[in-house]
Amino acid sequence: MHFRAAPLIVLIAATSACGAGSGPVTTDAPTPFSASSTSTPEGFTAAECRGAIGGKRVILRLDVPKEFEPESTGPSDQTPGGQCTWRTSEDRFFSVRVGEKESLADKNDELKEFEDSGGDDDVKDVTYDAPTDTFGDLEGERLSWWSYSDGTPSDCVYVQANGLRVFWQNPDDIDQRLDDLEAVLDSIELIRS
């Protein structure tokens, strides 16, 4: 009896992803979803980001802190699915990219190579979490780290699910305002047009 149970346990462990190192499934064809919050918070403004999925137009709606000014919107040669970016005068930055295929688990592995290396490419405090709440009612991935790149120390966060990636970056000498990031995430919804 004892010997019959051992192969069964091995089979269950092999097929259940227990201890597996693979990241969540990603997609370049996001499906529509609703925001988890339907009212625009005080100090925010409603915004849209246009994209394309499989040749069909989509609209990403979200709330943006008022001090952020739009830099780019929509598809480009570098981001054919679409990417929108915003920045403040104090170099806070965030972007939303449509059609992201790479798992943040892969990005986590890349960052770990430079962790505590010193110099211009130094990163610290790399933290990867999955599955975790992201936007809408979706679970996905979250990756945060401190970076010293091109002489600029910054706190950085990626949040990704359903083929959408949000990037939030702050100079490390000012408050990260992660509550603002959470309000942005709560407001994101994807609509097919």
Q: What residue ranges do the domains of the chain occupy?
A: 26-192
Give the residues across from 48 on adjacent strands. Answer: 61
Q: For 10, list phi and psi in degrees, rounded to 5.
A: -60, -45
The pLDDT score that the predictor gives to residue 76 is 64
Q: Which of 22, 20, 60, 56 is nearest to 190 (CA)?
A: 60
* Residue written as token pair 């083929």: 163
- Tokens coding 100: 């992201």
The conformation of residue 130, written as its DSSP 8-state character, comes to E
Q: What CATH fold (topology level) applies to the domain 26-192?
A: Protein Transport Mog1p; Chain A (3.40.1000)
DSSP reduced 3-state for 179? helix
Give which of 86, 97, 94, 85 is closest to 52, Cα–Cα. Answer: 97
Where the chain has pLDDT below 70, the residues are 1-29, 74-81, 193
Share of the chain above pLDDT 70, in %: 80
Residues 48-87: pLDDT tens digits?
998 887 778 889 999 999 999 999 876 666 666 688 999 9
Pure H helices in the chain? 2-15, 104-112, 178-187
Structure tokens at 99: 């059609």
Whole-angstrom CA distances from 135 to 78, 86, 90, 97, 124 are: 24, 18, 26, 14, 26
Alpha carbon of residue 41 to chain centroid: 21
